[in-house]
Amino acid sequence: MRLLVCGGAGFIGSTFVRQRLREHGDEVVVLDKLTYAGREENLQDLAGEQGFRFMRGAIEDPAAVAEAIAAAGPAQAIVNFAAETHVDRSIADPDAFVATHALGTYVLLEAARAGGLRYVQVSTDEVYGSIEQGTFTEDSPLAPSSPYSATKAGADLLVLSYHHTYELAATICRGSNNYGPYQYPEKLIPLMVLNALHGDSLPVYGDGMQVRNWIHATDFARAIGHVLEHGAVGEVYNAGGPDEEANIEVVRRIIELTGAAQSQIEHVKDRPGHDRRYSLSSEKVRALGWEPRVRFADGLAETVAWYAENGWWWEPIRSGEYREYYAQQYGRALQD
Ligand code: NAD
Ligand code: DAU
C-alpha cells in the first residue's frame, strides 16, 4: 500500500512506519512538523531505505498535505498520528492542541475526501474519561477530562461525521497507554527511567494509585495496521494492553530494574483533573485477529535496557528544551 503517515517522526508513528516498510512492504511518506516531540532521529535507521521518504510540514497546512499525498505516488491511505500528546502541556498551554487536533484533522479529512483516500485516525482511551471499575467499549460515551483528550475527542467526532456525511472511508483506532523505545521523556515511564539512572527524584503525582492500561508501542502499531487492512469503515476499534498497573507500582518496578533507591520517590502535587483509571476492552479488534504480544513485565525490562544503552537518543533531549520544561513543571532542575 502507498501510505501517507502524518506524525510519523513521533514515538508510535515511527514504530508504525518501521513495521509497515519492513514487515508489509508498504511505501511510506512521512509528513511531520517536527515539534519538540518529533525527531528525525526516530527514523534515522530508515533513511535511504527503499519506499521511504520524509517531508517536514504541518497537517494544518493544506499545501503541505497535498504535496505529501502527491509525493506518495499518490497515497492510497492517510494514517494520522500527528498530535500534541502530553496532558500536562495541554493543561499549561492548550493552544497547539486545538490547532493540531481540530484544524489539522479537518485539513487531512478534506484532502482524503478530495482524493477518495482511505483514512485512519489514531486516537486514545482518554476520550472516554476515567473509569473506576470495569472497562470501556467502543460504545461507551465520550467524557474527556483534559484539553488534550477533549480536542482528541473533537477530532474523532469530526472523522465520524466525514464518514456519515460524505461516506469517507474512515476508521478510528483508540489505544491505551503506550510505552517502549523512542518515547519522549516527559511521559511517566521514560521520565522515571532517566531520572532513576541519573539519581534525580522520581516525581509521583498525588498518591500514585492512578491505574493505566499499558500496551507496548509495537502492539499498538500492529493494531493500527490491522485496522487499516481489516477494519470496517465508519467504525471505532479500541486496542488496550494486556496489563493494568498503578503508577506507584510501575515506579517500583523501574527502581528494581535500574538499581535506583526507594528514597528517590517523591510524592508531588497532583495533576489538575487527573483521571484515576483507564481500561479498554479490545474484543472488537481481537475479533479481527489482532492480539497484544508483549506482557508489561517483559516489555518494561526491555524498555529500561533500551534507554540505558541508547544515550545518543536522549542526551540531546535532556540537555535542550526539556530541561526548561522540567524545571517549570516540577519546580526543580534535573541533575547534569
Ligand atoms: P508523540 O508526541 O511522540 O508524536 C507526535 C508526532 O506528531 C511528533 O512527531 C510531532 O512532531 C508530530 N506533530 C505534532 N503536531 C503536528 C502537526 N500539526 N503537523 C504535523 N505533525 C505534527 O506522540 P505519540 O505518543 O507517538 O502519539 C501518536 C498518536 O497516538 C497521537 O495521536 C496520540 O494521541 C495517540 N496515542 C498515544 C498514546 C500514548 O500513550 N503515547 C496512546 C494512545 C493514543
Ligand atoms: O491513555 C493514553 C494516553 O496515555 C495518551 O493518549 C497520551 O498521549 C499519553 O501521554 C498518555 O497519557 P497519560 O496522562 O496517562 O500519560 P503520562 O505518561 O503523562 O502519565 C501516566 C500516569 O503517570 C498518569 O497517571 C500521571 C502519572 N505521572 C506522570 C508524570 C509525567 C506521574 O505520577 N508523574 C509524572 O511525572
Residue 126 annotated as catalytic: yes
Distance from the Cα of residue 322 to its chain's centroid: 18
174 lines ligand 2 (CB under 6 A): no
How many helices (H) and strands (E) would you count in the chain? Answer: 13, 12
Test site for ligand 1: of 30, 43, 85, most ligand atoms within 8 A of the Cβ: 85
The single residue of 126, 156, 219, 275 carrying the catalytic annotation is: 126
CA 195–ligand 2 middle distance (angstroms) = 16
Q: What is the full per-residue pLDDT of the chain (336 aa) written as tens digits?
A: 999 999 999 999 999 999 999 999 999 999 999 999 999 999 999 999 999 999 999 999 999 999 999 999 999 999 999 999 999 999 999 999 999 999 999 999 999 999 999 999 999 999 999 999 999 999 999 999 999 999 999 999 999 999 999 999 999 999 999 999 999 999 999 999 999 999 999 999 999 999 999 999 999 999 999 999 999 999 999 999 999 999 999 999 999 999 999 999 999 999 999 999 999 999 999 999 999 999 999 999 999 999 999 999 999 999 988 999 999 999 999 987
pTM (2 d.p.)? 0.98
* Separation of CA 179 and ligand 1 centre (Å): 13
| Any atom of ligand 2 within 6 Å of the Cβ of 204 | yes
Distance 150 CA to ligand 1 centre (A): 15
* Nearest residue to 36 via CA among 81, 80, 85: 85
pLDDT at residue 148 in the model: 98
188 near 250, Cβ under 8 Å? yes
Which residue in 119, 160, 100, 107 sits closest to 3, CA to CA? 119
**H helices within 199-261, ranges in order?**
217-230, 247-258
Ligand 1 atom 19: the closest Cα is on which residue?
Answer: 58
Which grid cell is 225?
495496521
- Ligand 1 binding site (Cβ under 6 Å of any ligand atom): 6-7, 9-13, 32-35, 37-38, 58-60, 81-85, 100, 104, 122, 124, 152, 175, 177-178, 184
